[in-house]
Structure 1
Amino acid sequence: MSHGKIREDKTCLNCGHTVEERFCPHCGQENIEIKQPFHYLFTHFIEDFTHYDGQFWKTIKYLLFRPGKLTKEYLAGKRQTYVAPVKLYIFISFITFFLPSLLPSSEEQQERNDVYAFNTKEKENKERIAKILDSVNKENKNMLIPNEAISDLKVTEVNGNNIETDALGETRDGKLTILGAKNMKQFDSLYMKSSENRSIFDFMRPFAKKVFHLQEQGLNKEQIFDKFSETVVHTLPKALFIYLPIFAFFLWVFHNKKKWWFFDNGIFTLHYFSFLLLGILIIIFLSELLSLLPDYSIFNMLSILVSTVAIIYMLIYFFVAHHRVYENSRSISVLKGLFLFIINFFALLCMLLLLVYTSFRMMH
């Protein structure tokens, strides 16, 4: 509580109503003197922050580890102790959109990965050339190739792709192809030759334009996939926001409409989607954190394991929260939950694909 000096005048400066005690009963403003000591700025800030901080962290704790708890508390009327559902969703949605954009692009890490990939390919090329030389020498012992000639050899196949590259240099090809085409000219040529699969070419044309455009800008296959993955991650929160009322509608359809109003289903939806966004944010930060570790298989396995566990928990969370909030028997709750999960999964998937398709076309 603030320790500012109370005004002798009992008239609220904000709304004009009479203030009997410290706070105005009409607007809630504190009836304290306008001018306060300088230290009041800091003490007031600390008091406000600690009050919100305690409310916020309690809300986050229940949101993450107590499925359905916040919804039951809110619908029971206990609303002052926690962050309001709409405010919570907007805040978490904001940080999910905003904070990942502040993460460093990690150019040094990318350079390190490129060097690692280059050394790996170089090693593979050396081993392949050594095998070729051994095979040649076994077949014809009189035909010996000096070691000095190894660096001048060309490898015409790497990882199953017909390419030409220096044995000790970086692969000069390795570009993506769309339906067998390496550029839009080839794509259009294949389109003209194809009479039965033109619909496939028409569908893939926007992707082909974007991929070939990015490759012309100097991006390699890995960089394009990284951009696409980033687009998917940033598109998912948008899809969730658009899908909020649809999800609440399906909940309303599957439950007693006299007991559970659309408002109640909306509160459950806001809390569950806030949890999903927070889960996505945690996965992003864990992925970024693990990406700083050396590119070893054990760390890659750890990253995959953490993401898998997080996704499974996000799926199970829905069934637990649904059972606790709507208070059906376990069998009915699981049955309704499965129907809701399947319907929403396909509906959200369609929306996500549409948004990813649009986002991919707008990617630059």
Structure 2
Amino acid sequence: MSHGKIREDKTCLNCGHTVEERFCPHCGQENTETKQPFHYLFTHFIEDFTHYDGQFWKTIKYLLFRPGKLTKEYLAGKRQTYVAPVKLYIFVSFITFFLPSLLSSSEEEQKTNDVYTLNTKEREQANKERVAKMLDSIGRENKNIKIPKETINDLKVSVVNNNDSRTDAVGETEDGKLTILGAKNMKQFDSLYIKSSDSRSIFDFMRPFAKKVFHFQEQGLNKEQIFDKFSETVVHTLPKALFIYLPVFAFFLWLFHNKKKWWFFDNGIFTLHYFSFLLLGILIIIFLSELLSLLPDYSIFNILSILISTIAIFYMFIYFFIAHHRVYENSRSISIIKGMSLFIINFFALLCMLLLLVYTSFRMMH
């Protein structure tokens, strides 16, 4: 508790009620002097932090390793020793949103930018050398021919666009560039769109992706760098999808259970705790992935990374069934049937929402 000096005046500064001891019985405010020594700022911070720290870590321990425990405790009225469900979800969601950006240092970003610039310069230099060789060859064979400047520029554009590469049906050229429906740039994409009168719907759907991919490749990004950007977009989109899906998930729970015994509020508490666990699991996977990426690129470390991610994903899968069985107290067989039905329905519904948000986020990605 705080050790601030208590006011001699027994009137609460917040609500005006009489304060017999340290805290106001009406509003709970501590009746301490408004002006305290400077060191009080630090001692007060430490006291508040350690108090929250104990509450927080107990909540996290139950959330991670005792599926359904927090929900049962909260619904039973034991709420003072745990972080409130809404506060917990907001906190974990906030950290999950910003952790990837915190882990990526400015040095890494600068290094990446340097690589992009280097790749662009190397391609430009290679194109210039090719054009120079072509012009020298033409000049030796036809010494009296003067080539206009516009023609030289056209040759440069032609070399940049073609780059002596073959278009693969699988979406990648020999030099590592991505293709969309066989096109290497938007000009080719539009040309294929005109020719493919029977399958224009797929071209309409893929157009935003094509624009982004070709835009990034023009900036010097390779296939791996584009996929990294896309993966980052998915990671940032998932918490948004979960937040939007919260009431939908609670609604499905409400449909599958006794509505007299389990109110929508109760299902909402279960949903908040379960989604907080999912976000925390995503957070841990991101952190471990970043940590393992710092290790040398040996097979043992790659296997370890895959193994940890697989175990974490499997635990996140079975966690729902354990928590559902403990909270709703159905028989094991009924709990498995309801849990599996809910899992399948919510999986496909959440997947559709996630794909929609990823599609929207990808279009706005820069």
TM-score, normalised with respect to structure 2:
0.81
Offset of residue 77 of structure 1: 0.4
Offset of residue 181 of structure 1: 0.6
Higher mean C-alpha displacement, 229-238 vs 44-53: 44-53
2:217 counterpart (198, 215, 218) = 215
Q: What is residue 11 of structure 2 aligned with on the other side? A: 11
Cα pair distance change 1:9/1:107, threshold 3 Å: closer
**3-state DSSP of counterpart to 1:4:** coil
**3-state DSSP of counterpart to 2:197:** coil
Instruction: Check conservation: 2:234, 2:358, Cα contact below 8 A.
Output: yes
User: Quick one: distance in 2 between partners of 1:348 and 1:229?
Assistant: 18
Cα deviation digits, residues 106-145 of structure 1 (max 9, x gap): 639977xx9xxxxxxxxxxxxxxxxxxxxxxxxxxxxxxx
User: Quick one: distance in 2 between partners of 1:354 and 1:243?
Assistant: 13
Offset of residue 304 of structure 1: 1.5
Instruction: Check conservation: 1:290, 1:299, Cα contact below 8 A.
Output: yes
For 1:107, the aligned partner's letter is E
User: Quick one: distance in 2 between partners of 1:182 and 1:100?
Assistant: 31
Offset of residue 5 of structure 1: 2.3
5 Å matches for 1:268-347? 268-347=270-349
User: Quick one: distance in 1 between partners of 2:277 and 2:104?
Assistant: 25
Cα deviation digits, residues 1-32 of structure 1 (max 9, x gap): 12222222211011101112110011111112
User: Quick one: distance in 1 between partners of 2:15 and 2:274?
Assistant: 38
Offset of residue 242 of structure 1: 0.1
5 Å matches for 1:121-160? none
Identity of aligned residues (%): 90
Cα deviation digits, residues 228-250 of structure 1 (max 9, x gap): 01111110000000000000000
User: Quick one: distance in 1 between partners of 2:63 and 2:110?
Assistant: 34
User: Quick one: distance in 1 between partners of 2:96 and 2:253?
Assistant: 25
Instruction: Check conservation: 1:93, 1:274, Cα contact below 8 A.
Output: yes
Instruction: Check conservation: 1:71, 1:267, Cα contact below 8 A.
Output: yes
Q: What is residue 204 of structure 1 aligned with on the other side? A: 206
Offset of residue 323 of structure 1: 0.4
For 2:52, the aligned partner's letter is Y
For 2:275, the aligned partner's letter is F
Offset of residue 251 of structure 1: 0.3
Instruction: Check conservation: 2:173, 2:179, Cα contact below 8 A.
Output: no
Superposition RMSD on alpha carbons, in Å? 2.2
Q: What is residue 62 of structure 1 aligned with on the other side? A: 62
Stretches of structure 1 that go unaligned for 5 or more consecutive residues are: 115-154, 164-172
Q: What is residue 45 of structure 1 aligned with on the other side? A: 45
User: Quick one: distance in 1 between partners of 2:173 and 2:61?
Assistant: 54
Cα pair distance change 1:79/1:156, threshold 3 Å: closer
Cα deviation digits, residues 70-123 of structure 1 (max 9, x gap): 000000000000000000000110011112211125639977xx9xxxxxxxxx
Stretches of structure 2 that go unaligned for 5 or more consecutive residues are: 116-163
Q: What is residue 168 of structure 1 aligned with on the other side? A: none
Q: What is residue 194 of structure 1 aligned with on the other side? A: 196
User: Quick one: distance in 2 between partners of 1:213 and 1:28?
Assistant: 59
Aligned residues: 313
**3-state DSSP of counterpart to 1:196:** helix
User: Quick one: distance in 1 between partners of 2:196 and 2:229?
Assistant: 31
Cα pair distance change 1:24/1:358, threshold 3 Å: same
Cα deviation digits, residues 42-88 of structure 1 (max 9, x gap): 22222111111100000011011010010000000000000000000
User: Quick one: distance in 1 between partners of 2:66 and 2:27?
Assistant: 34
For 1:314, the aligned partner's letter is M
For 1:56, the aligned partner's letter is F
Cα deviation digits, residues 128-181 of structure 1 (max 9, x gap): xxxxxxxxxxxxxxxxxxxxxxxxxxx989x99764xxxxxxxxx310000111
Q: What is residue 151 of structure 1 aligned with on the other side? A: none
The answer as to 2:2 corresponding to 1:2 is: yes
Q: What is residue 108 of structure 2 aligned with on the other side? A: 107
User: Quick one: distance in 2 between partners of 1:361 and 1:46?
Assistant: 45
Cα deviation digits, residues 162-219 of structure 1 (max 9, x gap): 64xxxxxxxxx31000011101111111111112211111111111111111111111
User: Quick one: distance in 2 between partners of 1:156 and 1:209?
Assistant: 20
Offset of residue 315 of structure 1: 0.7
For 2:193, the aligned partner's letter is Y
Q: What is residue 145 of structure 2 aligned with on the other side? A: none
Q: What is residue 23 of structure 1 aligned with on the other side? A: 23
2:266 counterpart (261, 264, 267) = 264
Q: What is residue 250 of structure 2 aligned with on the other side? A: 248
TM-score, normalised with respect to structure 1:
0.82
For 1:264, the aligned partner's letter is D
User: Quick one: distance in 2 between partners of 1:350 and 1:108?
Assistant: 32
User: Quick one: distance in 1 between partners of 2:84 and 2:267?
Assistant: 15
User: Quick one: distance in 2 between partners of 1:212 and 1:345?
Assistant: 32
Offset of residue 264 of structure 1: 0.3
1:224 counterpart (223, 226, 231) = 226
Higher mean C-alpha displacement, 36-45 vs 182-191: 36-45
Instruction: Check conservation: 1:109, 1:292, Cα contact below 8 A.
Output: no
